[in-house]
Amino acid sequence: MHYASLLKLLDGYHGTRALVMGDLMLDRYVYGGVERISPEAPIPVIAIERTSDMPGGAGNVVRNLAALGARATLIGVVGEDVWAEALRAQLAQAPNVEARLITDRLRPTTVKTRYVADGQQVLRADRESREPVPHLVEQRLLAEFSSALSDTDIVILSDYEKGVLTESVVRTAISKARAAGKKVIVDPKSKTFAKYRGATVLTPNRAELQAACGFKCESDQEVILGARHSLDDGICEVMVVTRGKDGMSLLEPGSKSTHLRTTARGVFDVSGAGDTVIAALSLGLAAGGNIIDAATLANFAAGIVVGKRGTATVTAGEIIGMLRPAADHSDRHKIFSLDYALQLAEDWHQQGLKIAFTNGCFDLLHPGHISLLDQARRTGDRLIVGLNSDLSVRRLKGPGRPAQGEVARATVLASLKSVDAVVIFTEDTPLQLIEALTPDILVKGADYSVDNIVGADVVINGGGTVVLAELIQGHSTTNTVQRVAATNK
């Protein structure tokens, strides 16, 4: 594994444009606790505490694309019901996602409701239609697809067998995309892969491959044999088989195969893991990576997302934390996951070193940033910088920001002598990061006052101090971006 090349590929995710078409659904989670068994039947009674909705299926693919720094266009079908409105509202809140939803009044919006009691999923209830969409809806899907195709770098077809990706839709979409020079990545659910003929990459899981080839695919050799028929028949150019605890396998034309073992540290929920894989894999290919490097990043992404609860997403910053060679302590590698940063902080505290902390977006690093970081470093023995993720920056500053992706911003910060560690956070504020790291000194610019600095009370109550750094006037990333935009008009 080449850290530098994978880091460069991750940076290429930012700003990549992806077109996703497929089965859209609403994932609803109902959380509660179980304290008794029903007197009516031998089933648990869940005392409902809260519910949580999020886009699922193709909707979860675009959520993952956006979380990784890309722009995504989603084409899907919904019914005319309250669930469709809930989906539209969810997608409207997703940064860098354009939803082109087609209403079919004769079918329900697909809803998967998962009941989770005391951390365990005890029931799933599906509301759906598996009937193929009518010809008129097919035409509308393909019209939207054609109009969006020129403004995309890669095409993803997310098939959950809910009737949207009919043979006609899939065949035409693949033909149009390949004619336009676009790679097509397919997450298949059909029992036969024939309808995906012409795809660049297919990403079946083990069960889907077994259903398609008709025999067990447990060992590496069995997976190779199972995939070889589709490859030899020209269904796709490459097959990436996700194999749960056994990682994933890459099968290319001829006899070339590569097996990547799982990177998961713990598995809480596999819901939507395939969506994360196809998102990361597609962005790696769109950014110019080869299939092995793209799949390596997707494998790390899968290892992260299964360690989260619910239909979750992964950020580029989280992948960096997994990529970092554990035994490499060189200055080049200062970008850490929170888990690793916590270990570092504990080691530094045990050595009697004082830890300073500051945070920001640090988009288009300028002299004002450098001065703040230098001043922050002088207040302590080590400096940890909390960096807003791309999603966080978009929420704070709008859809046109950041100008640089989180990987690029983190890499530039890590190159500075004043910085000892960079941790990317996805929340709007660094409060959770400050609470976890417990720094001795919190540093912010003098344009703040102590009483309105996020985390100041945490640091002070822990016996630390808050320092206001002197500002250098006349430098602003926002002003720079505005000047560049005005120049280019």
- Contact between 257 and 241 under an 8 Å Cβ cutoff? The reply is no
CB contact set of 426 (below 8 Å; sequence gap of 6+): 67, 315, 317, 389, 391, 392
SS3 assignment, position 99: strand
Secondary structure element (H or E) that encloses residue 433, with its range: helix 431-437
Closest CA to 445 of 337, 373, 345, 346: 373
Rounded to a whole number, what is the largest CA-CA distance in the chain? Answer: 73
Closest CA to 295 of 282, 309, 314, 310: 282
* CA dist 144 → 147, 228, 258, 268 (Å): 5, 34, 37, 37
User: What beta strand segments (E) does 128-214 contain?
Assistant: 154-158, 183-187, 199-202
- Packing angle between helix 58-67 and helix 273-286, nearest 10 degrees? 50
Catalytic residue (one of 275, 293, 363, 420):
275
Closest CA to 231 of 206, 279, 277, 196: 196
In angstroms, the CA 151 to CA 453 distance is: 41
Place of tokens 């990987």: 407
- Contact between 175 and 157 under an 8 Å Cβ cutoff? The reply is no
Q: From the CA atom positions of the chain, what is the Rg in Å? A: 24
Structure tokens at 309: 């609860």
- DSSP annotation of 69: T
* CA dist 245 → 267, 280, 294, 381 (Å): 9, 19, 19, 42
Closest CA to 243 of 300, 184, 203, 296: 203
Instruction: Output phi, psi for 130, to 5 deg.
Output: -105, 5
Bridge partner list, 258: 250
Place of tokens 């993720």: 389
Side chain identity at residue 116, one-letter code: V
Active site residue 275: yes
Instruction: Output phi, psi for 118, to 5 deg.
Output: 50, 40
Catalytic site positions: 275
